[in-house]
Amino acid sequence: MNRLVLLLLFATTAVWTAAGSAAERPNILWITSEDHGPEMGCYGDEFATTPNVDALAKKGMRYKLAWSTAPVCAPARTTLITGLYPPSCGGQHMRSMAQLPESIPLYPALLSEAGYYCTNNSKQDYNVRPTGSLGWADSSRKAHYKNRDPEQPFFAIFNETCSHESKIRTRPHKQIHDPVKVRVPAYHPDNEDTRRDWAQYYDVVTQADATAGKLLRELDKKGLTDSTIVFYYGDHGSGMARGKRWTYNSGLSVPLVVYFPEKWRHLAPKEYQAGGVSDRLVGFVDLAPTLLSLAGVQPPEWMQGQAIAGKYETEAPKYMYGFRDRMDERYDFIRTVTDGRYQYIRNFNPHFIYGQFVSYNFQTPSTAAWKRAFDAGLCNADQSHFWNLKPAEELYDLQADPDEVNNLADSPDHQQKLGELRDALYQWCHDIRDVGFLPEGEIHSRSEGSTPYEMARDETKYPFEKIFAAADIATHRNPENLDQLKSLLTDSDSAVRYWGAVGILNRGGDAVNASKQALLAALGDDSPYVRVAAGYALGKFGDKELQRQGIECLIDVAPSKPGTNVFAAIAALNAIDKLDEKVAFAKAEIDKMPVGEIASPDKRYGGYPQRLLTKIQDDFKANASSR
């Protein structure tokens, strides 16, 4: 073989070697468990029994404060799968099924393009529809990284459901943790039901920890521990009431433990050390760009999170954000921000109580027992807050008040922090073009022929600043803005008119009676959402004749005829339910509502009107039997 051939062979081999080295990617394993917060030994909870995740934290690193961004499963998973805040793309409401633009693929598709074998075992439950493929090589109960080509890097999710909210209430149950030794949070009444459900919650977290241990041992048995980056996290706070579904730290805070083997230590977060704790704020919106960064893929500009590790790791953010919108059949609208020490909560539906009746949540014994205790006058102020109207603003010191029962929003010593976090939250809403300031149905109607994400960035379809300003005024209770609210009812934009009606409703009886002509005119508005807000205001606070007119408007908007829009029906039935015995005169008409004929764009949330109607009818029966 001559010298030239040898040189060519050497050069070719060098190129192949370099290419192979450059193409090498870490394996990535996500172990997730449902409905549990950082109630684990590695987070200092001595009552918890979680040896496997504790051991992972000892050789890896845990994050001191990680948020799921949304305090319930579908919006939280939507955040994960997109790398977007769901309020920026219409995916914030439970089972909203918003369409994504073609330009926004889901992260598994991007990882697949980078050569990864991507599996999901097995829950999806996203609130968005992609235009293209989801990107999973397999998404099922049989999905596993072992089915890949051995030379192919993998990204695998294993999602444990044994800790789900429904498991807290499963009976019979063999107790592991003693209910007597449970620490009852200050916001819960200390009774038998509360202690039993909390103890059972700790039991199912122990089961989830056992599953994590099994998966880690399997990884080790296959000889993959030294080549695999591992993330362990819960998908939001506990399934106990005021945990899951609520934007307190108890609903948003999750355990997040990461492990980087020596081979991939150069991809670890800058602050990574074995047994260490990171102060970096990290939310679910950060995990999609982090995955891409670990795979050597630059996260696309449209992703709204920050990579916490890998080639494209960013500097730590100053703030972290969260949200709550419609939870199953109940509307709500909350935005929140934290700097790690203080949490600011902005309630844009302060005319609704926190503890609205969500039928699924009320199946948990401690939830129903808490409401009974409140109705019986057995709850103190901290325990009663959940069942009362919300303030517009809340501020809590997570260090001094981890249960978040001492609202500092009116504290003279905390006005600077209140203003700082309020400004940060408002800027975030502006930056992401938060579509939550539209009634849910308008998110979809204004997006016709496009997508909510694209609509939100079209000023002609969504004049954000104008609508946001109306919402901001509406959801405080200062009476001096009443004339301005009345003027909002004549605006050309239906969302502005909606907030005008909500603002009058939010200010109570005096404001409603001083605005009755404007509200009566709003009963004939082109927008069903304006009519619902006006009808609810008159039905709740008007005199007998005004009440009747308001309620008749609500019944007309609700599913009183085939073809009713599902979003308008849910809004109207929510209002009817909250008016209690005031709607008794219309019982016969309500009972025959054809809820099965409502036009619903997706069957996943078409059943919510029936839940509301059933609640209204059950209340009719309960009121009749109590007479």
The residues pairing with 346 across neighbouring beta strands, listed in sequence order, are 335, 393
> For the stretch 186-212, what's the b/e string if a residue is b when 16 or more beta carbons lie within 10 angstroms of its beta carbon?
ebbbeeebbbbbbbbbbbbbbebbbbb
Max CA-CA distance within the chain? 107
Q: What are the backbone angles phi and psi of residue 97, rounded to the nearest 5°?
A: 55, 55
Cite the DSSP H helix spans in 321-439: 365-375, 381-384, 415-432
Nearest alpha-carbon partner for 530 in 554, 561, 555, 512: 554
Residue type, 68: S
CA distances from 604 to 95, 136, 141, 445, 585 (A): 6, 22, 21, 19, 32
Strand 228-234, strand 27-33: pairing:
parallel
Q: Report the C-alpha dihedral over residues 88, 93, 94, 98, rounded to 10 degrees.
A: -50
Parallel, antiparallel or unpaired: strands 320-324 and 334-338: antiparallel
Non-local CB neighbours of 13 within 8 Å, separated by 6+ positions? none
Q: Rounded distance, CA 478 to CA 462, Å?
A: 27
Listed residue (284, 307, 402) closest to 43, CA to CA = 402
Question: What is the spatial distance between Cα 73 and Cα 130, in angstroms, rounded to a whole number?
Answer: 18
Amino acid at 490: T
- The Cα–Cα gap between 77 and 125 comes to 7
CA distances from 571 to 529, 535, 621 (A): 7, 11, 22
Q: Which of 73, 379, 429, 553 is catalytic?
A: 73
Instruction: With beta carbons less than 8 A apart as the criterion, state whether 289 and 282 touch.
Output: no
- Beta-strand pair 393-397/342-347: antiparallel
Q: Give the separation between CA 361 and CA 255, rounded to whole angstroms.
A: 23
What is the spatial distance between Cα 136 and Cα 98, in angstroms, rounded to a whole number?
20
Question: Is residue 73 flagged as an active site residue?
Answer: yes
C-alpha to C-alpha distance for 34 and 502, rounded to whole angstroms? 35
Task: Pull the structure tokens for residue 42.
Answer: 């590695």
Catalytic residue ranges:
73
